[in-house]
Amino acid sequence: MGADDKNLIGQRLQRVLDAVALKRPDRVPVAFHTMLWYAKYGGISYREVMYDYDKAAALGRRAILELDPDIYSPPQQFTTLGRVLEAARFKQLQWPGHGVGDNQPYQYLDREYMKPEEYDDYLFDPTGFWLTTYMPRVLGAAEGLESLPALPGYFYMRLVMGTRAFAHPKVVQAFANLRAAGEVANGLVAALNEFTREMDGRGYVLGQGAVSIAPFDLVGDYLRGARGILTDLYRRPGKVLAACEKAIPFILKAAISTCKASSSRFVFIPTHWAPDSFMSVDKFRTFWWPSFRKVLMGLIEADLVPVPLWEADCTSRLETIADVPPGKAVYWFERTDLARAQSVLKGITCLRGNLSPSLLNTGTPEQVDAAVRGLIENIGRDGGFILDGAFGIPDEAPVENVRAMFKAARKYGG
């Protein structure tokens, strides 16, 4: 590594940290985040880029070196998931070759994964519910764990004899399947670590050391499904609130331990049920925000930087979500107007975003250049802004438009 590289390492990190701390950086930092755009970039199929670690890593490396962002997301976090999904026999997703075509993105299957009467099971014993009900329901590899008994009922000699539960053929098979899936996951993590070590060495800032979730979104998306959670707000509001509260320490433990094991302090949190059009401000303040704020505060107290991606338009939420300590979080907005967001959040959180996907996918490089210039001029160079796409780089964006985005960021960001 040359002296210039070493110098760059400090520069990019300092630039990002200054933006987060709401101090003026040497120039506006720019982030590179995508799911499947590597396939477009490399002229290969989505399926290929989801399964081939080497090809994905090579494309990721090439893209980062060419585009030269300050912060990046590695392809092993949101792209090369095919083999692990397959090994775990994951049932909540369709991905290329598994339910959708080779050139279609992976898509979540919105279903009721927890019945309304099971709220009590979750609230009574989240771990037991996860292990013996939820995991077998969503992971084919975990099928058989339903046969495990309620272990805290075993004690003394009964506990010793209780080990026979682990010799149950279905449980034995489930653990064997899970071990095999876990080894595939370890292979992916090894590829991830190799990639991030290299990029750390080149001075690029890892955009997220962990991915986390809002408690309401966990209950809504991954347990109850859209129809379930929305009607629960009227049918069993107390259960929704209790489940959100119950999830907080589990969410925090997972995010903090994962992030602390990485070289990044950033925790990426895509939010799903926050947008204006989903529920009234009152309901947002009652059901969505309080438990999420506790997650944000828990991450901040652990010296991590939460980066919630506020999906869709969250304009009516701005006053509510402004209630966080200054300079400790990055709020990434997808469709909320950044100038409007800044009018409420200036001096509170760093903003990130939000070149529209319609522009990146269907515009010209000149239009992208003009839009980057406009954003930087409107939102400002004085700190508290990281340039990015509305949801990173869309999978379909023409390469020349993406090049134009990063070129313009350097041209106008200083």
Partner 1 sequence: MKENEQRLLDAIADMKEDEALALAKAMLDGGENPLRVLELCRNAMETVGKRFQDGEYFLPELILAGEMLENIGLMAKPLIQKGGAAAAKKHGRVLIGTVHGDLHDIGKNIVTFMLDINGYEVKDIGIDVPVERFLEEIRAFQPSVVGLSGFLTLAFESMKETIEAIARAGMRDKMKIMIGGGQVDETVCKYTGADAFGNNAMAAVTLCRGWIEA
356 binds partner 1 per the rule CB under 8 A: yes
The nearer residue to partner 1, 308 or 357, going by C-beta atoms, is: 357
Q: Is 359 in the site for partner 1 (CB under 8 A)?
A: yes
Q: Give the E-state strand segments of 261-360 in sequence order.
A: 266-271, 305-310, 330-333, 350-355
Kindly tell me which residue out of 13, 131, 230, 322 binds partner 1, with binding defined by CB under 8 A.
230
| 37-53 exposure pattern, b = at least 16 Cβ within 10 A, e = fewer | bbbbbbebbbbbbbbbb
Instruction: Tell me which residues in 64-123 interact with partner 1 (CB under 8 A).
Output: 94, 100-101, 104-105, 107, 109-110
Q: Which of 363, 402, 404, 408 binds partner 1 (CB under 8 A)?
A: 363
Asked if residue 394 binds partner 1 (CB under 8 A), the reply is yes
- Show contacts with partner 1 in window 280-309 (CB under 8 A): 280, 283
Longest dimension (CA), the chain: 75
Identify whether the C-beta of residue 178 lies closer than 8 Å to the C-beta of residue 136.
no
| C-beta of 13 vs 100, nearer to partner 1 | 100
Measured from the Cβ of residue 319, the count of other Cβ atoms closer than 10 Å reads 12
Q: By CB under 8 A, is residue 263 in contact with partner 1?
A: no
Q: Residue 313 burial by CB count (10 A; 0-12/13-18/19+): exposed, middle or buried?
A: middle
Cβ closest to partner 1, residue 123 vs residue 226: 226
**CA dist., res. 13 & res. 180, Å (int):** 38
In the bound complex, what is the minimum distance in angstroms from residue 104's beta carbon to partner 1?
5
Per CB under 8 A, 364 contacts partner 1: no
CB of 90 closer than 8 Å to CB of 136: no
Q: Indicate whether 362 belongs to the interface with partner 1 (CB under 8 A).
A: yes
What angle do helix axes 225-235 and 237-260 make, rounded to 10 degrees? 130
Q: How far is the CB of 189 from partner 1 (least distance, A)?
A: 28
Label residues 333-365 b or e (16+ Cβ within 10 Å = b).
Answer: bbbbebeebbebbbebbbbbbbbbbebbeebeb
Cβ 38 vs Cβ 60: under 8 Å = yes
- Which of 312, 338, 379, 402 binds partner 1 (CB under 8 A)? It is 312
Shortest distance, CB of residue 359 to partner 1, whole angstroms?
A: 6
Contact between 325 and partner 1 per CB under 8 A = no
Counting contacts by CB under 8 A, is residue 361 touching partner 1? yes
Residue 234 in the binding site for partner 1 (CB under 8 A): yes
- Residues of this chain that interact with partner 1 (CB under 8 A) are 94, 100-101, 104-105, 107, 109-110, 226-227, 230-231, 233-235, 277-280, 283, 311-313, 335, 356-359, 361-363, 390, 394-396
